[in-house]
């Protein structure tokens, strides 16, 4: 894992966009983003049991796996959004970037690779992209039914109870 301020410069979303200003794991936890490096499934099982993640599946994001819809999917993952539940991803292979908004509403880019596990809290604005390798395989964990519905950023979400709870807890 490596985290840094996104440079906000034009160019493909899959480029590093590294401003050179680092962000620490403590800074991430101050906005509710939790990071773990877990070397085996036993460790993931333990975390899942502790936090009540009963279900899981695996997703491979690559042109080989997705065909024609790959480019559209990658664009849609990169729309700024939130969820009404945690987003938990355990990277099994490849790498990619999760961008999250910090307290000052700036983008922080989190580069994840194999064995990295990230937990984004409900209500945080974020987005995802593959990198130039165009390949990531991840396990998605969830508590009950997967609630993947992305709610794209808008002023209307200011009154969403999950957003309000997130703002009161972390911002």
Q: How far is the CB of 117 from ligand KMT (least distance, A)?
A: 11
Comparing CB distances to ligand KMT, the nearer of 124 and 136 is: 136
From ligand KMT, Ni ion, none, which one binds at residue 61 (CB under 5 to 8 Å depending on kind)? ligand KMT
126 is in an annotated binding site: yes
37 marked among binding-site residues: no
- Is residue 81 annotated as involved in ligand binding? yes
Q: Residue of minimal CB distance from ligand KMT?
A: 128
- Tell me which residue has its CB nearest to Ni ion: 87
Q: Which residues contact ligand KMT by CB under 6 A?
A: 59, 61, 77, 87, 89, 96, 128, 136, 138, 140
Least separation in angstroms between residue 98's CB and Ni ion is: 8
Maximum CA extent, the chain: 42
Whichever of 62 and 106 has its CB closer to ligand KMT, that residue is 62
C-alpha 141/C-alpha 148 separation (Å) is 11
Assess contact for 157 and 118: CB atoms under 8 A.
no
Q: State the minimum distance, in angstroms, from the CB of residue 112 to ligand KMT.
A: 8
Strand partners, 6: 18
Q: Which of residues 59-88 bind Ni ion (CB under 5 A)?
A: 87
For residue 55, give both structure tokens.
Answer: 């279900």
- 139 with 98: CB under 8 angstroms? no
Q: 83 a known binding residue?
A: yes
Q: Which of 134, 129, 139 is nearest to 94 (CA)?
A: 134
Least separation in angstroms between residue 98's CB and ligand KMT is 8
Q: Which residues contact 125 (CB under 8 A, 6 or more apart)?
A: 80, 81, 82, 100, 101, 153
The β-bridge partners of 57 are 140
| Residue pointed to by tokens 């993640």 | 53
> Known binding site for Fe(2+): residues?
81, 83, 87, 126
């Amino acid at each position: 894992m490596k985290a840094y301020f996104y440079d906000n410069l034009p160019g493909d979303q899959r480029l590093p966009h590294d401003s050179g200003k680092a962000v620490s794991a403590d800074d991430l936890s101050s906005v509710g983003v939790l990071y773990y490096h877990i070397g085996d499934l036993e460790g993931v099982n333990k975390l899942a049991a502790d936090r009540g993640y009963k279900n899981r599946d695996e997703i491979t994001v690559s042109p080989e796996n997705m065909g024609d819809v790959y480019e559209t999917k990658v664009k849609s993952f990169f729309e700024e959004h939130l969820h009404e539940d945690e987003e938990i991803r355990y990277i099994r292979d490849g790498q990619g970037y999760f961008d999250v908004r910090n307290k000052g509403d700036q983008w922080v880019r989190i580069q994840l690779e194999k064995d990295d596990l990230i937990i984004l809290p409900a209500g945080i604005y974020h987005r995802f992209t593959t990198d130039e390798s165009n390949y990531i395989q991840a396990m998605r964990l969830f508590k009950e039914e997967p609630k993947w519905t992305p709610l794209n950023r808008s002023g209307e979400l200011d009154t969403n109870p999950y957003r309000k709870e997130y703002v009161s807890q972390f911002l």
